[in-house]
């Protein structure tokens, strides 16, 4: 291997070591950290963010990257790694270390304030911290620069090369096609789901969730599951990928979907090449592609009748009294009920996209300065009435329900819808290429699908961008038609439309 490229690899892995060390502290903050640890934890994360930024912006790295960018002896993968790292370097140079440290500290403090505000149903606890964070994110847009819309600078961090105007077109499809179909469903008799809300023992739920993760192919020697208030996946390498779940003893939906969803994210991270640790070729492509993996497992697999024809009897063994007179078809109907709801993470797979649309419109308005933080509760409630015809009873069930803004993750929410739309397109292609895929799922054999995802998506790291990957796999760019075809076929049958 080229000696300059070897030096580059060593340098990038050093940066990754610092970033993943901060990741461990973040994971601990959201799972096990005692409440008195908050102040020093914010300081610790700020210090590590500053160190990582200093490493990522050193002149010696820039010199090395610019030299390697002109080196014709590199392989195609090596050239792509250098191009991506040079892009990141130039972006990082736009930040000062002081700004990075201030942003990190503000995020830690805002997260703690969000936790308290949600627990006390009091937006005012959160508002002062969020105001400061929004001001920093607006400043970040100016630091990074943009040509059309300030929100573009934030979207690019999660879904590279995607513009606000593209998302506006996509969400216009949601409004013009999905809204009308959901109205048709609403006119039909609703399926029964009362048995989903009986008392389901926490420990038994936990054990069933572990069973499902193992069936999916999640490697517990390279990960673990814990409890958190907001389920998430985090990784410190492809050989240490951790998931969390949330359990409600009076609603079995929460555990099932958080386990399968986060398991899908984790399988992607575990499938990235360990040999490429710290390099773009060992990283996920974008959050839209990442979300495609969780949504494919959660919806296209986990909410399918084939999946439950195999797994329902297992669930019944854990909860015979609750499910004694229920069939797998009954359970399938219950888990796929479509109706407006307050909470995004508990929403059905169709109205879910109205929740994302609301957040997209709010974020865009916040970054534009058309609304301010103090306006958020009333603006949020108005949007929920407009799109879902729901009255929001409290801030904890409304504007405080999501953790994302407290993490500074503005520009993140649209990737949830992008992920579902990519998932439908990828799963459609998988069914064409994997012989009898749905029959294999019905037998509990998920290996053919996981192997297909490993081969077509996971192993490539960041070699392709999202659009290139979609075209490589399916022969075309992201097309909303695949999601609508999937939705209409499935729900027309469920609701006799």
Fold of 3-155: Methane Monooxygenase Hydroxylase; Chain G, domain 1 (1.20.58)
Q: Give this prediction's pTM.
A: 0.91
Residue 224, Cα to own-chain centre: how many angstroms? 18
The angle formed by the CA atoms of residues 311, 314 and 315, to the nearest 5 degrees, is 90
The CA-to-CA distance between both ends of the chain, in Å, stands at: 61
Domain boundaries, the chain: 3-155, 160-497
Q: What pLDDT digit, counting tens, does each position of 163-176 carry?
A: 999 999 999 999 99
d(CA 247, CA 394): 22
Tracing tokens 């304030």 back to the chain, one arrives at 113
- In order, the DSSP letters of 157-210 are HHSTT--HHHHHHHHHHIIIIIHHHHHHHHTSPPPP-GGGGS---HHHHHHHHH
pLDDT for the residue numbered 352:
96
42 and 105 in contact (C-beta within 8 Å)? yes
What proportions of the chain, in percent to the nearest 5, are helix, strand and coil? Answer: 70, 5, 25
Token reading at 441: 């799922």
| pLDDT over 80 at 186, yes or no | yes
Q: What pLDDT digit, counting tens, does each position of 217-233 carry?
A: 999 999 999 998 889 99
| pLDDT over 90 at 34, yes or no | yes
CATH number corresponding to 160-497:
1.10.1370.30
Q: Which long-range contacts (CB under 8 A, 24 or more apart) does 115-118 make?
A: 115/229, 117/395, 117/400, 118/396, 118/400, 118/401
Tracing tokens 């995607």 back to the chain, one arrives at 162
| Alpha helices (H) in 336-479, listed in sequence order | 352-368, 376-388, 414-433, 437-442, 447-456, 466-474
Closest C-alpha to 81, from 176, 2, 153, 193? 2
- Any catalytic annotation for residue 262? yes
| pLDDT over 80 at 453, yes or no | yes
Residue 468's contacts (CB-CB under 8 Å, 6 or more residues apart) are: none
Token reading at 88: 């990141």
Closest C-alpha to 391, from 340, 338, 337, 339? 340
Residue 265's contacts (CB-CB under 8 Å, 6 or more residues apart) are: 233, 243, 290, 291, 293, 294
pLDDT for the residue numbered 411:
96
| pLDDT over 80 at 1, yes or no | no
pLDDT for the residue numbered 236:
96
| pLDDT over 80 at 335, yes or no | yes
d(CA 100, CA 143): 12
* 123-133 exposure pattern, b = at least 16 Cβ within 10 A, e = fewer: bebbbebbebb
Tracing tokens 């002062």 back to the chain, one arrives at 128
Over residues 125-132, mean pLDDT: 98
CB-CB neighbours of 187 under 10 Å: 8
For the chain, the average pLDDT equals: 95
pLDDT for the residue numbered 204:
98
pLDDT for the residue numbered 15:
97
Residue 270's contacts (CB-CB under 8 Å, 6 or more residues apart) are: 218, 219, 222, 223, 238, 239, 241
d(CA 251, CA 198): 7
| pLDDT over 90 at 303, yes or no | yes
Binning pLDDT at 50, 70 and 90, where does residue 30 land? confident
d(CA 26, CA 48): 11
With a pLDDT cut of 70, the percent of the chain lying above it is 100
d(CA 441, CA 165): 38
Closest C-alpha to 418, from 219, 162, 208, 203? 162
pLDDT for the residue numbered 381:
97
pLDDT for the residue numbered 197:
96
| Alpha helices (H) in 32-147, listed in sequence order | 38-56, 59-68, 76-92, 97-120, 123-144
pLDDT for the residue numbered 17:
97
Over residues 471-483, mean pLDDT: 97
CB-CB neighbours of 369 under 10 Å: 10
Catalytic residue among 254, 262, 349, 363: 262
Binning pLDDT at 50, 70 and 90, where does residue 346 land? confident
Please count the CA atoms within 13 angstroms of the CA of 207 that sit on its side-chain side: 11
| pLDDT over 90 at 353, yes or no | yes
Q: What pLDDT digit, counting tens, does each position of 187-216 carry?
A: 999 999 999 999 999 999 999 999 999 999
341 and 351 in contact (C-beta within 8 Å)? yes
d(CA 347, CA 140): 32
Tracing tokens 């077109």 back to the chain, one arrives at 169
Cα separations in angstroms, 235 against 46, 171, 215, 252, 475: 19, 31, 20, 27, 31
């Amino acid at each position: 291997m080229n000696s300059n490229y070897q030096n580059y690899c060593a340098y990038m892995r050093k940066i990754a070591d610092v970033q993943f060390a901060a990741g461990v502290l973040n994971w601990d903050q959201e799972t096990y950290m005692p409440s008195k640890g908050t102040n020093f934890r914010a300081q610790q994360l700020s210090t590590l963010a500053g160190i990582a930024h200093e490493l990522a912006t050193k002149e010696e790295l820039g010199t090395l990257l610019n030299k390697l960018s002109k080196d014709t002896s590199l392989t195609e993968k090596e050239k792509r790694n250098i191009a991506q790292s040079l892009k990141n370097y130039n972006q990082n140079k736009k930040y000062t270390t002081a700004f990075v440290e201030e942003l990190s500290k503000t995020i830690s403090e805002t997260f703690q304030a969000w936790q308290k505000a949600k627990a006390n149903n009091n937006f005012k606890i959160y508002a002062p911290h969020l105001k400061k964070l929004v001001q920093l994110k607006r400043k970040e847009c100016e630091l990074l620069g943009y040509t059309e819309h300030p929100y573009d600078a934030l979207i690019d961090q999660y879904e590279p090369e995607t513009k606000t105007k593209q998302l506006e077109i996509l969400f216009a499809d949601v409004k013009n096609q999905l809204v009308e179909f959901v109205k048709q469903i609403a006119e039909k008799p609703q399926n029964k789901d009362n048995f989903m809300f009986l008392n389901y023992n926490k420990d038994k739920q936990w054990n069933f969730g572990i069973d499902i993760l193992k069936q999916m192919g999640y490697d517990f020697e390279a990960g673990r599951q814990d409890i958190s208030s907001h389920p998430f996946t985090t990784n410190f390498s492809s050989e240490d990928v951790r998931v969390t779940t949330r359990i409600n003893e009076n609603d079995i939906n929460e555990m099932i979907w958080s386990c399968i969803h986060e398991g899908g994210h984790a399988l992607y991270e575990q499938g990235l090449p360990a040999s490429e640790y710290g390099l773009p070729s060992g990283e996920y492509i974008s959050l839209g592609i990442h979300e495609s993996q969780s949504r494919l497992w959660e919806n296209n697999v986990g909410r399918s009748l084939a999946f439950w024809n195999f797994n329902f009897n297992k669930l019944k063994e854990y909860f015979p009294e609750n499910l004694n007179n229920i069939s797998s078809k009954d359970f399938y109907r219950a888990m796929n009920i479509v109706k407006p709801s307050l909470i995004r993470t508990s929403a059905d797979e169709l109205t879910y996209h109205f929740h994302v649309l609301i957040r997209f419109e709010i974020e865009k308005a916040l970054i534009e300065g058309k609304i301010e933080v103090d306006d958020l509760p009333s603006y949020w409630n108005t949007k929920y009435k407009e799109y879902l015809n729901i009255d929001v009873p409290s801030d904890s069930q409304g504007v405080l329900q999501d953790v994302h803004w407290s993490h500074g993750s503005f520009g993140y929410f649209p990737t949830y819808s992008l992920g579902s739309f990519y998932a439908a397109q990828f799963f459609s292609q998988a069914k064409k290429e994997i012989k009898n895929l749905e029959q294999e799922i019905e037998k509990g054999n998920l290996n053919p699908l996981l192997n297909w995802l490993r081969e077509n998506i996971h192993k490539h790291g960041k070699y392709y961008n999202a659009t290139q990957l979609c075209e490589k796999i399916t022969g075309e760019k992201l097309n909303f038609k695949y999601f609508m075809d999937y939705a209409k076929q499935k729900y027309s049958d469920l609701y006799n439309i």
